Amino acid sequence: MKALSQHRRHPLMGLALLLLGLLVTGGLYSAASTVNQAQAATQVTTAASSDDIAEGEKLFNANCASCHGMGAAGTDAAPSLIGVGAASVDFQVGTGRMPMQMNGPQARLKPRQFSEEQTAQMAAYVASLGAGPSVPEEKYLDADHEDVNIAKGGELFRINCAMCHNAAAAGGALTRGKFAPTLEGVSEKHIYEAMATGPQNMPVFSDANLKPEDKRDIIAYLKTIESNDSPGGLSLGSLGPVSEGLFIWTAGLAVIIGFMVWLTSRSS
């Protein structure tokens, strides 16, 4: 016991414990990374071949690595894409938001630069780097599915989405030049992927927050209000009291000015 006590008081014992702790931490991190990559490889192999991943890597290195870095590890200009999943790439590239046209508060919608096949190849490559949300299955994109509950979808949309996207899904302004875009005309797949990945300032709605069936209900609700006409007449962009108040103010001034012109013309 006396010899053991002397070893504990040795000046190098603290350094030895520190090195042991670092080795254990590094080993656990390495094991977790290996499991993550194995999960990603399992997800990708079910939907994409090794050839697709190789082609996706070539496309990524030629068009994306200048900002996101080789291996998608990230740079000072753009974040790492390891672990974002295939759904994030499919959404950002499929809607033309990536590659970005110019720096700004957020990436803007524009015509896409890659075909569906090229987009799928890049998505497969990024998904192979780390497990993340995958491209949704077709059964969760069917707004006419027999189990769809449009009323529930409307309730979920108003609770989780309307504060930014507007109750009519027409979009709205956020802070510092950012905005929530309109959801009219957006495909079912891209709506689902946006909920699953949380692009720009949007929060992530994982399956723990909104089940795939809930996401499908929200999509069905959005497609329903998109196909319906405005029962109240002119929608004025569906922006609520802002556009309505401006219209009333402008129309009211026009009526008053017109009435004054009519009165003065009669008195003369």
Return all residues near 216 (Cβ < 8 A) that are at least 6 apart.
140, 141, 142, 143, 145, 148, 153, 192
The Cα 137–Cα 172 span in angstroms is: 29
Return all residues near 164 (Cβ < 8 A) that are at least 6 apart.
172, 174, 180, 201, 202
Looking at domain 138-228, which of 3.30.379.10, 3.30.70.141, 3.30.70.60, 1.10.760.10 is its CATH number? 1.10.760.10
Classify domain 35-129 at the CATH superfamily level.
Cytochrome c-like domain (1.10.760.10)
* The length of the chain, given as a count of residues: 268
Q: Long-range contacts of range 171-179, CB-CB < 8 Å, 24 or more positions apart? A: 172/239, 174/201, 176/105, 177/104, 177/105, 177/106, 178/105, 178/106, 179/106
Which of 268, 160, 265 lies closest to 218 in space, CA to CA?
Answer: 160
Domain-by-domain residue ranges, the chain? 35-129, 138-228, 240-268
End-to-end CA distance of the chain: 119
Output the pTM of the full model.
0.72
Each residue's pLDDT, cut to its tens digit, for the chain (268 residues) gives 455 455 555 566 666 767 777 777 777 666 555 544 444 444 444 456 889 999 999 999 999 999 999 999 999 989 999 999 999 999 999 999 999 888 888 999 999 999 999 999 999 999 999 989 999 999 999 999 899 999 999 999 999 999 999 888 988 888 888 999 999 999 999 999 999 999 988 999 999 999 999 999 999 999 999 887 766 666 666 666 666 777 788 888 899 998 888 888 876 5
